Structure 1
């Protein structure tokens, strides 16, 4: 898929059309005169148009531009104004033929924002460093939402969650769920909750402690499970736009919370070190 910068593209196309209109009128009275004096005016317009045509893959139009540019820059330019007008028409025609064979899709302002980097999407500098693989999935999920592929967005959110849960499992030194039977929400949540209770007994957890942070993380994981609509972490349903957006948001929010406790390898993150220095482990 090609990304089109709309304003330069529109500017180059309209300038080309305006040039064609001017030359058509000029050719009525001066069609047989030499076009050599037009090179300085025409070539910059051709260069801009060529760049935009090349950006969207209009190869035949680009070849036509190259041919006209070479003729205008030749030591002995033999083109007449009428020839130049016809050549511009040929370029426009080839470009129009190409546009008939492709489709353009426009994104709204909100949808365009979904095409950003992971750090921008989660509003956290350094997230992509802590979770490189999960960042890719977050970006893909957001792109799928922008492009209306909502069930695919849930799929990428699931992959992002799996990366996060594996990191959390490593951080807590519990076996990561690998069997299909283990990849269900009850097993995952029960395993994590049991380990958190073992390491940080509920009766001894203090506010702003490491144990409290893990407890808060479990609450966020529960929030991800609720809209999932199936017991396993597989994408087995078709998801509506609002469901996909909600799941993606909950998943990324969980990942941001997780980043304060661990990185993708299961190692304590810098934020957790600060927590331990300023608080307590309980």
Structure 2
């Protein structure tokens, strides 16, 4: 996948086409060499197009543009009007062939922000450092939203939460389970609840305390377990855009809250 700077690319393509049109109409001067003023006009446009063509992978168009640039940069320039016209036609023709072989997709103004880095997506500076693995999953979930792959985005959101559960378990000093049968949400959540109650007994938890913060994280995980986690694992479930967005936002809320208490390795940030 290639990210295209649409405005720069459009400017490069239209400038080249405009110059080609001008030279195509100069049939009476076909054998005349380009004057320095003409070279100064053509060269920047070809140079800009060559860079944009190379950026999107239009290799043959880029090679053709570079060949023409080399001729224009000679001192003195020996390129004639007809040679310039043929060269410009060759560049455009090769580029048109390239466009016929690929598909271009665009993102709307509402979709493009989902392509940003995790710290911007979560509006949480430093999250990418505290949770590198989860950061990848958050960014992938957001990209799936941008590209309309809503069910896939929910899978990534669930992976985000699993990373969060493991980090929370490490922070609370809960050993990593060795048996495969113990590696499920129900077992993890049971161990987390038990450890929270042991470290911060219910009757002694004060508002705003660390124990209350961990209790809130547990409640959030317990709430998403059945309706989302279990449903995601079955092929019958297909998520609509609003459902996927809601799930991702809930996962993001949980991870941002968790990042204030621990990093991915269970260490206090």
What TM-score, normalized to structure 1?
0.87
Aligned length, in residue pairs: 266
**CA 1:244/1:171 → structure 2, altered by over 3 Å: closer, same or farther?**
same
Confirm or deny that 1:103 pairs with 2:103: yes
Moved more, 151-160 or 132-141: 151-160
**Other-structure match for 1:30:** 29
Structure 2 matches for 1:227-266, cutoff 5 A?
227-228=227-228, 230=230, 235-237=233-235, 238-240=237-239, 241-266=241-266
Q: Residue 36 of structure 1: CA displacement?
A: 4.5
Confirm or deny that 1:224 pairs with 2:240: no
**Other-structure match for 2:10:** 10
**CA 1:229/1:134 → structure 2, altered by over 3 Å: closer, same or farther?**
closer
Moved more, 29-38 or 199-208: 29-38
**CA 1:178/1:16 → structure 2, altered by over 3 Å: closer, same or farther?**
farther
Contact 2:171 / 2:266 at 8 angstroms: preserved in 1?
A: yes
Unaligned runs of 5+ in 2: none
**Other-structure match for 1:65:** 65
Contact 2:171 / 2:267 at 8 angstroms: preserved in 1?
A: yes
Contact 2:4 / 2:56 at 8 angstroms: preserved in 1?
A: yes
Deviations 1:148-170 (A, max 9, x none): 22232222222221211111111
Question: Matches of 1:28 and 1:126 in 2, distance apart?
Answer: 62
Contact 1:227 / 1:246 at 8 angstroms: preserved in 2?
A: no
Cα RMSD between the aligned structures?
A: 1.9
Question: Matches of 1:256 and 1:28 in 2, distance apart?
Answer: 67
Deviations 1:218-244 (A, max 9, x none): 12213432541517xx73334323332
Q: Residue 110 of structure 1: CA displacement?
A: 2.1
**Other-structure match for 1:83:** 83
- Name the SS of the counterpart of 2:110 in structure 1: helix
Q: Residue 76 of structure 1: CA displacement?
A: 5.2
Structure 2 matches for 1:93-242, cutoff 5 A?
93-177=93-177, 179-228=179-228, 230=230, 235-237=233-235, 238-240=237-239, 241-242=241-242
Question: Matches of 2:109 and 2:178 in 1, distance apart?
Answer: 40
Unaligned runs of 5+ in 1: 270-282
What TM-score, normalized to structure 2?
0.91
Question: Matches of 1:223 and 1:92 in 2, distance apart?
Answer: 58
Contact 2:32 / 2:80 at 8 angstroms: preserved in 1?
A: yes
Contact 1:36 / 1:79 at 8 angstroms: preserved in 2?
A: no
Contact 1:224 / 1:251 at 8 angstroms: preserved in 2?
A: no
**CA 1:253/1:86 → structure 2, altered by over 3 Å: closer, same or farther?**
same
Q: Residue 59 of structure 1: CA displacement?
A: 0.9
Q: Residue 8 of structure 1: CA displacement?
A: 0.3
Deviations 1:119-169 (A, max 9, x none): 111111111121111111111111121112223222222222121111111
Question: Matches of 1:178 and 1:164 in 2, distance apart?
Answer: 18
- Name the SS of the counterpart of 1:79 in structure 2: coil
